[in-house]
Structures are given as C-alpha cells and as structure tokens.
Structure 1
Amino acid sequence: MRSDVAAASRPLSFAWPWLDRAGRLSWLKLAVFLACIAPACELAAAYRLDALGAKPITALIHGTGEWTIRFLLASLAVTPLRRIADWPRLILVRRMLGVTAMAYALAHLALYVVDQNYDLAKVASEIAVRIYLTIGFVALVGLIALGATSTDAAIRRMGPNWHRLHRLAYTIAVLGLAHYFLQAKIDVSSPVFWTGLFLLLMGWRILKRVTAPEKPWMLLLLALGVAGLTALLEAAWYGLASGVPAGLVLAANLDFSGQIRPAWWVLAVGLLLPLTALARPSRAGAATGRRAPVRPAARTPGPSFSTKA
C-alpha cells in the first residue's frame, strides 16, 4: 500500500497514460492508448475529408455514442479477461478505458449541442421531454462521476464509499444500452450485439459468485446460454416495438443467406473465452508439465475505472 501511495504522489512520471507507476514505458498501456484515440482520429479525418454523408454532424454524434458503449464495455471486460487469461497486468488499462468512455460521451453531448445550433435552452428541453435523451444524459452524468473519482487521491479520500459509487458502472451500462436501443429505433442489430456482450460479462460475474467461472466447460455453457438469450432479446424487441412476430425473428437466426444475426456474433465472441482458458499457460507447472494448483484470485473492488485490484 505504501508503494502505491508513493507512486501516486509522483507529479510527472505517472502523468502520461503510456507509463506505468514506476515511470517506465508500458507497451500494453501504449497500445491501449493508441486504440483509444484511433476512433476519434478516424472520425475527425472522415469529417475533414467530407466522407460522413449528407449529415456529418449526425454521423459524428452516432459514432461517438457507439464508441462510448464500446469502451465502457471494454472497461467492464478487463476483470473477466485478466482472470480467464491469467493476465494480471491487464488491470493497468481499466482506468484508461473508463475515462475514454467518459470522453467520448462528453463529445457525444457536445456534438448534439452543435447540431442544435448551440441553443442550450433547446438542448435542455429536448433532454427533459425525450425519454431516450433523458436516459442518455443520466448515463453521462454517471460516467462523469466515475471519471472524476477515478484518481488515486479520490480512492483514498472516499474510502469504502468509492467502491459503492463505482459499482454504478453496471447501471450506467444498462442506461447507455437502453439509450442506444431507443435511438436506433428500426434496425437494432448493433444494440442487440453489444447488449449480448454485456450479458456475457454480467453472466461471468454471476458465475463468479457461485463457482469458478474460469473453467472452460463453464465458459462454453455461458457462451451458449447468452447467445440464446440474445436471440430472444432481439425477437422480443422487434415484437414489442414493431409488431414483427417473434417466431419470424427467431427463424431468421437460422437463415444464413442474408445478414448474420447478432446472436451468432455474440456466440463467436463468447467461444473465445473457453478457448482462452484452454490456452492459458500453467505458471507453476509449465516447467514440469504438471498443472499448477488453482490459487484464490485477488479480490477486485468492483467495476471501477481504477487500476487498483
């Protein structure tokens, strides 16, 4: 603990996001940092080259909103992946991913203000009367709260309350996905896919409370179950929102002549988890060919934006 406090007090060496707590270059953090800024650079370049269609600001609004969801789910995926892959250092990038989600969410709102010709009164009224905008704004406020308290100083100052606050990341993800669904309106293939991945992450956390979710057969069952749940979710949404019979939507999952339905993509991602568990090296048994005994994992304080575990 003392070493963490001492490292956190260094004013310059830890300021750059690609450095570790000792001030050394972390190739993992550098790679993730470049991945975080790449979508923003791509969107900016597309806008500069007039490649965003007839409504470029609308395209930017949608793009930043989608990347907000992606980076938020990426931050929630850190804990499962570091356990399944036995990669403890992955925790170093959780804060960066969470803060990046907040940054894209702020850009999302700022672009909406631009789209409304900087009329803040109109923006406020739209947020108040349109339910999907209200949901999105509440999620944004939550992201700002998590981002503002993601520093080491905030962790020490807030104590146990910090853990309670950062558990709101789950609720914020639900609100963000609901906003995504309601905004998409007709074609919800993308929101269904990302919701399926969220269910995969939450399913792993539920398993962690009752069993050891790193076992390949458990991860396989999780992937199959969540894929089925994703298909049901898509059918239910179309049935309730547009009156399309649920049976037709479910049957579309077996028709591979057109678009591959989101449930199959969720299954493909889910199957990577047991494969990763099977490929995970056995540290203590690597030299002897024997599998190392399973050791209890360090307790993770919740779905935080912090690097502490």
Structure 2
Amino acid sequence: MPALPAVSAPWRDRAGRLSGLKLATFLAALAPGLWLAAAYAADALGAKPITELLHGTGEWAVRFLLLSLAVTPLRRIANWPKLILVRRMLGLTALAYALIHLGLYVVDQNFVLTKVVSEIVSRIYLTIGFVALLGLVVLGVTSTDGMIRRLGKAWPRLHKAVYLLTVLGLVHYFLQAKIDVSDPVFWTGAFLLLMGWRALQARRWPSNPLTLSLLAVGVALATAGLEAAWYGLASGIPAERVLQANLAFPTMIRPAWWVLALGLTLPALNAARLAWDRLGRGSGPSRGRTRDAVAAN
C-alpha cells in the first residue's frame, strides 16, 4: 500500500521548517475564536450569547478577509516579501469564520433548516451574505497548489472575485448593523485604502510617502462622506450633521479619523523601508547582497 502524503503543519514553510511568521499568523487566527468560546463558556456574552457569537464570527470573517487583501500592499510598501507566505492562511481563516457564522445562524434558528432557507431567500442582507459565503467557499476550494496548477491562467482571474466578495461582505455588515454603523464604516474605509493603493499601482504611480499620505487623506474624506450618506439614506439624519461630527475631533473620534490613522501607517512604513534601504546600501556590498537575496524569495 502506498504511503499517505504527510499533512504539512500550517506553521511550517514549504521546506518543512518552522516559520515564525506562519506560526504567529496561525495563533492570531485561532485567538478570536478561542476568546469567543471562552467568553461563551464563562457566560460572559450577555442575555443572547448565540447572537453575540454570531456577530463576533461575522466581524472576524470580514477582518481576516481584509487582512488577506492587505498582504500584497504591505509586502511591497514595507519590502517584506515573505509576507506572501500567510496570504492563503488568512483567506482560509476568513472562510472558516464565515462558515462558523452560518453554522451559528442555523443554531440561532433552532436547526429548522426550512426556516433558515426561507430567511436567506426573503431577507436581502442574508441573501447578500450567503452569496458572499458561497464565493468564499469556491475560492477556498481552489486555493490548493493542485487547483492552482489545474486552473493555470484562469486561477488569477477567478481569485480576483475576492474584491467583489469583500464588497458583498461589507454590504451585509452594514445592513445587519442597522443603527450604529461605525464599525462597518471603518472597515469599509480600510477596504477603500487597500483598493486605492491597487489603483495607484494600476496607474503606475509611485508608492512613496507623499502619494501614500495623499491616499490616506483622500480615503479618510471618502469614509466621512460614506458615513454621512449612509445615515442620511438609512435614518434621515442630515448629512451635514454627520460631517460636522466627523470634523469635531478630538471631541468625537469618528471612523474617518481612525481610517486616516490607519492610512498614515503606510507612508510611515514606506519611509522606514527607504531609510533601511539607504542604511543597507551604506553598510557594504555583503549587506546589500543579503538584502537582495531576501527580496527575491
């Protein structure tokens, strides 16, 4: 009988060596789920613990999906090529939390599958969320090395659907939040930041501290406008009042300010990388060859 192939541990690289980066990512992926499970076991989730678990897993699915999208910008801005090693893990973690999210919804509906299906079909925000989940399942199934080889050039085109799926996930997040949409607004701003960087790359604009700072300011303003538009459409609150609240810093720190702070980490990382590169060039040819070898991996 032929030997079964060994299952590679998620904290090891392709050569089978322990990867500190992959181990840290694996532990970070487990941490929210373990925290939620512990809070449930300690009866610390309030009067509706399943609802809290439902919301928590959905939020973490969105966060890990955005983290997977952040890998490419960060590895280039910070010149950290090994970051690509954890992109698949982050995407699969998002899928795992999304599947748990659906499972908890089934629990919340007392395992009445006919009611689950009826609710998904009749409630638009559930329909949107379910479509996003189905898309993530497709991407997860096709994320293996074997499927990448089989799909060939079609694989990158298929996996670009992650951008649309992220939009659907954020819309689902907005619609289920109902009254207070501060968290969905912030994470949507983070998504706009990541997509803005990709737009700069598509236009071949340089990624330097100036362009990245302008990107951060522009996305923060767009986030403030999005929040004002949402409240104006959903609750009738005049948009100018929401915009005034956004400008009332530091009396009230709205999501746009947090998006600005997040965005400004990009030029800071870029400036630090440029300074490190200059230091490396000034420390002799051997240091430069080492840095080039790392960047090529």
Shorter-chain TM-score above 0.5? yes
1:88-103 equivalence runs, <5 A? 88-103=81-96
Deviation string 1:93-112 (CA, Å, 9 cap, x unpaired) is 00000000000000000000
Q: Tell me the distance in 1 between the aligned counterparts of 2:53 and 2:231.
A: 26
Task: Quote the residue 1:304 is aligned against.
Answer: none
Q: Does 1:287 align with 2:280?
A: no
1:166 corresponds to which of 159, 166, 188: 159
1:20 corresponds to which of 5, 13, 23: 13
Please state how far the C-alpha of 1:160 moved relative to its aligned partner.
1.3
Please state how far the C-alpha of 1:11 moved relative to its aligned partner.
3.2
Q: Tell me the distance in 2 between the aligned counterparts of 1:220 and 1:288.
A: 32
Task: Quote the residue 1:268 is aligned against.
Answer: 261
1:187-206 equivalence runs, <5 A? 187-206=180-199
- Higher percent of residues as helix: 2
TM-score, normalisation: structure 2: 0.92
Task: Quote the residue 1:235 is aligned against.
Answer: 228
8 Å contact from structure 1 (residues 204, 213) kept in 2: no
Unmatched runs of 5 consecutive residues or more in structure 1: 1-9, 299-308
8 Å contact from structure 1 (residues 113, 119) kept in 2: yes
Please state how far the C-alpha of 1:220 moved relative to its aligned partner.
0.3
Q: Tell me the distance in 1 between the aligned counterparts of 2:282 and 2:52.
A: 50
Q: Tell me the distance in 1 between the aligned counterparts of 2:94 and 2:65.
A: 5
1:225 corresponds to which of 215, 218, 221: 218
Task: Quote the residue 1:183 is aligned against.
Answer: 176
1:130 corresponds to which of 95, 119, 123: 123
1:67-146 equivalence runs, <5 A? 67-146=60-139
Deviation string 1:178-206 (CA, Å, 9 cap, x unpaired) is 00000001100000000000000000000
Please state how far the C-alpha of 1:161 moved relative to its aligned partner.
1.4
Q: Does 1:60 align with 2:60?
A: no
2:5 corresponds to which of 7, 11, 23: 11
8 Å contact from structure 2 (residues 246, 252) kept in 1: no
Q: Aligned pair in 2 of structure 1 residues 80, 257: CA closer, same or farther (>3 Å)?
A: closer
TM-score, normalisation: structure 1: 0.88
Could you list the structure 1 runs, at least 4 aligned residues long, displaced by more than 4 angstroms after superposition.
none
Task: Quote the residue 1:34 is aligned against.
Answer: 27
Please state how far the C-alpha of 1:252 moved relative to its aligned partner.
0.2
Give percent identity, aligned residues only.
Answer: 68
8 Å contact from structure 2 (residues 98, 133) kept in 1: yes
Deviation string 1:163-189 (CA, Å, 9 cap, x unpaired) is 111000000000000000000011000
Q: What letter corresponds to residue 129 of structure 1 in structure 2?
A: S
8 Å contact from structure 2 (residues 45, 52) kept in 1: yes
In angstroms, what is the RMSD of aligned CA positions?
1.9
Task: Quote the residue 2:238 is aligned against.
Answer: 245
More RCO (CA 8 Å, sep 6+): 1
